[in-house]
Amino acid sequence: MSNVINHSERPHAVLSASGSSRWLNCPGSVDAEKDIPNPSSSFALEGTLAHELADTCLKNKCDADDYVGKEITGDIIQKDMASFVQEYLDYVRSYETANSTLYTEERVDFSNVVPDGFGTMDAAVILPDGTCHIFDLKYGQGVVVSAENNTQGLLYAIGLHNYLEFLGGIEKFIIHIVQPRVSNYSVWEVSVDKLKEFAKWASKRAKLALSNNAPRIPGEKQCQWCRAKSNCLALSMHVQSVIMLEFDDGTKLPDIADLTDGDKKAILDNTKLIETFLKAVKADVHARIEQGQDFNGYKLVSGKANRKWTDNAHLELEKELGDEAYTKKPITITEAQKLLGKKRVDELTYKPTGSPTLVPSSDKRQSISYVPVEDCFEVIKK
């Protein structure tokens, strides 16, 4: 299979594995995005570098620390990145055995299911018993990613199965999402039979996505990274219907007391989607004004800024105040763990109970039990 791939140079499929949660759930997004530029961001470049480092270490059987201060694809590896990537390396290597086979940064082809479909899989470990572990490194920390029904991982599994099928004996795939910066290690197992069922469904959705007038279907997963969401009529109408805005009547919101439990649940179910839409509209108008366009009713102004020390202020403060110019405080827990190790830091820290957070019933965390207020008081008999 392939050698090291430079992420910044590798091609991308129209119906890519990485974008599958979008086009599988909203087939119309393919046409909606086709003329919208997809500029890279600092976060994307950072993720690219982390993947390059991980791939280099796996191929060369070395650790990430070996590259601190060194250049990979034009960028210098910093200690923090090396530390997080090492967690990924350790995780992948923990599944290797004497007779296992490691694939890293492999291009897999799933065009038998998705027209011209291919993608680059971060890593995979194939065990002699027919178990295929697929690893996806997520260097971002803004959104926690789950392995359960992860369409990107499933498409990689299809591509890997296509390549390995001639070997026979492939029993199951285990998809791993490794997101070290938020300590997220998500695992999900899928049988070959279930994978084939998904392939049939994905094939139908791919054909629909490439057809004329493919439907736009708003939803949290598909809209999150869609470049067309700020001008999507389907999403706008969905948001209006959920929060029941009457734009023709002066943008009047309904009284909360008049909402049914069903109304409130619908709003809660769509909170992230609504926030995504509103942020996209704001970003679109912001960008248009920055480009010199007028937008009726809005303008850009300088935001609030706090005072900062000048470059030589610390020298002057030290002259005038001496030791009083500085304060002492402990280093962060993350920094201490790098110096002392996890075991020692665990002895010096504790994790308090978090504040109550409202989540869907499907969330796997244990629910908090509350006693009704009236049960806290003794009934006084007259």
Residue 374 has pLDDT above 50, yes or no: yes
CB 325 within 8 A of CB 318: yes
pLDDT-derived band at 3 (thresholds 50, 70, 90) equals: very low
**CA distances, 149 to each of 157, 177, 324 (Å):** 12, 11, 57
All CATH 3.90.320 domain ranges of the chain, comma separated, are 20-209
Share of the chain above pLDDT 70, in %: 90
pLDDT at position 378, please? 62
| Global model pTM greater than 0.75 | no
Has residue 251 got a pLDDT over 60? Answer: no
Q: Specify the pLDDT at position 167.
A: 65
The segment with the largest mean pLDDT, out of 196-205, 253-262, 351-360, is 196-205
Question: What confidence tens digit (pLDDT) does each residue in 281-339 have?
Answer: 888 888 888 888 988 888 888 888 888 889 888 888 888 988 888 888 888 887 788 78
pLDDT at 338: 77
Please give the mean pLDDT across all residues of the chain: 86
**What pLDDT, in 10s, does the model give residues 44-85?**
889 999 999 999 999 999 999 999 999 988 889 999 999 999
Length of the chain as a residue count: 382
Domain 20-209 has CATH 2.60.120: no
The DSSP annotation for 57-123 comes to: HHHHT--GGGGBT-EETTEEBPHHHHHHHHHHHHHHHTT--TT-EEEEEEEEE-TTTSTT-EEEEEE
For residue 375, the model assigns a pLDDT of 63
Contact 120, 10 (CB under 8 A): yes
